């Protein structure tokens, strides 16, 4: 009986339904957008290429030995001599390997992507924290952005911008932006209401309360979101090697296709040291915020 009902449902109810060609509609929309707004996309491509190429050139301007000292100094300033010594040793290993140029290119892609994602995410998170309607509208969009497989981001941007560094940067911006929005909104909503009410009682305007009370108190949470943005950006720029994104991602992709363990291991090790550096430095900067320092003193 169950088999009969299943066959009947499949034959007379489900099978006659028309196929829902969402993918075809999406492809048509992207082709239309590229044909209609070609100058707009060309301007975006030129702008991102300008940022990336100049930053990569700046990172490669100094010899690798001096850059190792720069990395060590940044780590020392962020979190003390232990991290500075460890990062100096780690980046010295990376400089010793044959992929220093690709490492700096990857770092340039991460910085550009994370910077643009943060510039978009933080104001959007502020707006979502202040407006329930914006929060309700952005939440499903952020859920969709976080659950969509990383490889799927590459398909539409490649159709719009062809292969190269720019599609990788744009896909990375979209992929790493949600934590920045969520953590900014969360941090602002967690600010003690009594502190906000005290500011209102003294006649502070909503803009002053946001700038002088809410944002400073929410800064540790916002910095935690920035840390997640950077980590996701690093993971995505490696995947962007599949579309000619350059850097360490392209080395890893080529090593995988050729089963070249030596090259893949060297590039992967460089990614690890770069990830540890970015993670620890952003954590160190978060610990140096006034609210984080006050929390440490009360413990």
> How much of the chain exceeds pLDDT 90, in percent?
6
**Tens-digit pLDDT profile for residues 161-180:** 777 788 888 888 888 888 99
**Tens-digit pLDDT profile for residues 57-72:** 888 888 888 888 988 8
Supply φ then ψ for residue 258, to 5 degrees: -100, 0
CB neighbourhood size of 26 (10 A): 13
The answer to whether 240 and 248 are in contact (CB under 8 A) is: no
Q: Residue 120 has what pLDDT?
A: 92
Mean pLDDT of 201-228: 83
Q: Residue 81 above 90 pLDDT?
A: no
Mean pLDDT of all residues belonging to the chain: 80
**Tens-digit pLDDT profile for residues 245-286:** 777 778 887 787 777 777 778 888 888 888 888 888 888 777
Q: Residue 233 has what pLDDT?
A: 87
Q: How far apart are CA 82 and CA 121, in angstroms?
A: 32
Mean pLDDT of 133-160: 81
Q: Residue 116 above 90 pLDDT?
A: yes
| Selection from 178, 200, 196 nearest residue 188 by Cα | 196
Residue 177, token pair as written in the block = 């932006």
Q: Residue 295 above 60 pLDDT?
A: no
Q: Residue 17 has what pLDDT?
A: 47
The DSSP annotation for 146-197 comes to HHS-HHHHHHHHHHHH-SSHHHHHHHHHHHHHHHHHHHHHHHHHTS-HHHHH
Q: Residue 2 has what pLDDT?
A: 60
What are the structural domains of the chain?
22-61+97-298 (1.10.3720.10)
Mean pLDDT of 146-166: 78
Q: Residue 11 has what pLDDT?
A: 58
pTM of the entire structure? 0.84
Three-state secondary structure call for residue 162: coil
Q: How far apart are CA 97 and CA 266, in angstroms?
A: 7
Q: Residue 290 above 70 pLDDT?
A: no
Mean pLDDT of 19-26: 67
Q: How far apart are CA 267 and CA 110, in angstroms?
A: 16
Residue found under tokens 């007379």: 12
CB neighbourhood size of 64 (10 A): 16
pLDDT band for 9, please (50, 70, 90 cuts).
low
Q: Residue 125 above 80 pLDDT?
A: yes
């Amino acid at each position: 009986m169950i088999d009969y009902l299943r066959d009947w449902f499949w034959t007379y109810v489900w099978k006659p339904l028309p196929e829902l060609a969402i993918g075809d509609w999406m492809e048509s929309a992207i082709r239309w957008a590229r044909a209609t707004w070609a100058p707009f996309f060309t301007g975006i491509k030129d702008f991102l290429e300008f940022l990336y190429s100049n930053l990569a050139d700046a990172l490669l301007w100094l010899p690798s030995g001096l850059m190792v000292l720069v990395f060590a100094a940044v780590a020392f300033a962020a979190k003390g001599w232990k991290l500075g010594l460890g990062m100096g040793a780690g980046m010295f290993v990376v400089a010793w390997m044959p992929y220093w140029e690709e490492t700096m290119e990857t770092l340039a892609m991460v910085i550009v992507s994370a910077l643009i994602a943060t510039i978009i995410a933080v104001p959007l998170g502020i707006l979502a924290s202040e407006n329930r309607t914006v929060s309700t509208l952005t939440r499903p969009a952020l859920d969709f952005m976080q659950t969509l497989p990383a490889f799927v981001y590459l398909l539409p941007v490649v159709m719009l911008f062809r292969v190269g560094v720019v599609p990788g940067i744009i896909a990375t911006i979209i992929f790493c932006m949600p934590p920045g929005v969520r953590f900014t909104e969360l941090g602002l909503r967690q600010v003690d209401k009594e502190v906000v009410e005290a500011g209102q009682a003294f006649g502070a305007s909503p803009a002053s309360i946001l700038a002088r009370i809410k944002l400073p108190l929410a800064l540790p949470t916002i910095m935690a979101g920035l840390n997640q943005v950077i980590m996701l950006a690093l993971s995505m720029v490696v995947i962007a090697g599949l579309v000619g994104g350059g850097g360490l991602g392209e080395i890893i992709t080529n090593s995988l296709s050729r089963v070249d363990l030596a090259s893949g291991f060297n590039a992967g090790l460089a990614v690890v040291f770069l990830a540890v550096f970015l993670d620890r430095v952003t954590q160190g900067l978060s610990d140096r915020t006034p609210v984080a320092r006050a929390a440490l003193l009360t413990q």
